[in-house]
Structure formats: C-alpha cells, structure tokens
Structure 1
C-alpha cells in the first residue's frame, strides 16, 4: 500500500492510498481522483517522506482510539492542513447524522417549524433568498460548504 501526499489546484492538501505508483497514475489518467475538500480534479503528487513503523507493534497501533466513523487515524498531517482535517471531520459528522432532503429542504424545514411534521435533522439545497426567508421566519438554518466528495469514504 502506498500513501501519497496529494494537492489540488486550490492547494488543499490530502492523502491518497494506492496499491502502487502505477495505480495512482491510472486513477489520475481516468479522472477518478478529486480533492475531498472542493472536488477539484486537478490533482498532483507532492513530495512525501517514507513512513516507517519502527518500535510499534500492530497491537499498539490497533489500540489507538477510533474516530466517530470507526476509522483509526493513521499517518501525519502536513503543516497547514489541520484545519482542513477538522472541517472534513465535522462535515462527515453532519452528513452521518442528517437526512438529505435535497430540493425539499425549505418545505420540510417549514413543516417541522409549524409542527406539521416530526422534528429531525435534515440537510438539503435552496437559494440564498429562500434561506434568508427561513431565517426571517425564525427557522434555524445553517449554511454548509458544498462538499460533494464527503458522500464517499475519504482516505
């Protein structure tokens, strides 16, 4: 398994896990790689230091705390990308605990606000104008950054 440091055209740093260097190049050529933060497909490989697991047993590594999505954190964070990592973890949490209602967001939010529907956590899409109308009606909404790549597993 090869872990590569990658960067998109917007300079978002992230890791990619590949079976080999050839696997990385094949996925890149086929357009299968994109930035998990912004979805940009212009991805390039950055310089990486080798990762050696010296003096640590598999049991010790497995005993590390798991994150909310059940994944064990591995590797290191490049300088400047800690904030990106926090944002991605927060967005994963939001996506795991909300229902995507798509374009029905405003209607469902209003129905819950007026007691016509059971309260639940939802996310969806609407125009900025409709979002302002919801806020003016006293309906609590929160804009979320558009992160389409978060629907898939991120490495």
Structure 2
C-alpha cells in the first residue's frame, strides 16, 4: 500500500491510499481518482514530505486525523442507515424518485454518465468521498 497526497483543479488537498504506484497510475489514467471534497476528476499528485516512523506504527484501520475519523464515522452511518443496492444504484434511485419503489436512503455505485443523468433529471444524489465495501447480494 502507498499513500499519496493529492490536489484537484479547485485546489482541494487530500490523501488517499493505493495498492501500488502502478495502481494509482492505472486508476488516474481511467479518470477514476476523484477529489474527496468536490468530486472533481482532475486530480494530480501534490508535493508531500516523507514520513519517518518513530516507534510502533499505527494499524492502517485506525484513523490518523480528525478528518479521517469524520470520514470513518460518515461511512459507518451511511452503511447503517441506508440500503446497499450495488451497481443498480442509478436504476433504483430513479425508481424511488419516480415513486415506483419505496422511498428510502440507498447507496451503491454509478458510472459518471449515470450520475450526471440523475442530477440533470432532478434526482437528488451525492458522491461519497470513499469507495463503499461491496456486499454480496
């Protein structure tokens, strides 16, 4: 795992972890690296200082900053208070909006063009600043 400091075209700065430098390059090349603040896909690596560990390292699952803790709390709340619909997100969001399905909070995955179409059609959606853990149906 490798952590990069990133910056979007709107000057938002954030850190993100990747499986490897090559994994970052692959995701970045496909436009899949987005700003954790505004969702912009125009993201580049920012200058970063090297980290030198002093003693025992924290486990990766422990949030290191208040911002990371807030994101972890947000993720837990979303997972607890909404239904995971996976790749059916765009279809299910539209069904709820049109009154064809029960009104409820949902989360899942959508392609950029699907999300854009939902927004253009007045469906209320928000990009999440993290990838959801995929669940088996």
- Which TM-score band (shorter chain)? 0.5 to 0.7
Aligned twin of 2:74: 91
Q: Partner residue of 1:57?
A: 56
Q: Kindly tell me the number of residue pairs found equivalent between the two proteins.
A: 108
Deviation at 1:15, TM superposition (A): 1.4
Q: What is the correspondence of 1:95-114 to structure 2 with a 5 Å cutoff? A: 95-100=78-83, 102=93, 103-104=95-96, 108=102
SS at match of 1:73: coil
Cα offset for 1:50?
Answer: 0.7
Contact 1:5 1:14 in 2 (8 A): yes
State the TM-score, normalizing by the size of structure 1: 0.50
CA distance in structure 1 between the aligned counterparts of 2:26 and 2:131, rounded to whole angstroms: 23
Structure index of larger Rg: 1
Equivalent residue runs for 1:1-155 within 5 Å: 1-54=1-54, 56-58=55-57, 61-62=58-59, 71-74=61-64, 82=67, 85=68, 88-100=71-83, 102=93, 103-104=95-96, 108=102, 122-124=104-106, 146-152=126-132
More off after superposition, 19-28 vs 4-13: 19-28
Q: Quick one: higher RCO (CA 8 Å, sep 6+), 1 or 2?
A: 1
Q: 1:145 to 1:37 in 2, by over 3 A?
A: farther
Q: Normalized against structure 2, the TM-score is what?
A: 0.55
- Is the CA contact 2:7–2:35 (under 8 Å) kept in the aligned structure 1? yes
Q: Please, which runs of 5 or more residues in structure 1 have no aligned partner? A: 110-121, 128-143
Give the whole-Å Cα distance in 2 for the aligned partners of 1:18 and 1:151: 12
Give 3-state SS (helix, strand or coil) of 1:52's partner.
coil
- Structure 2: segments with no counterpart, 5+ residues: 84-91, 107-117
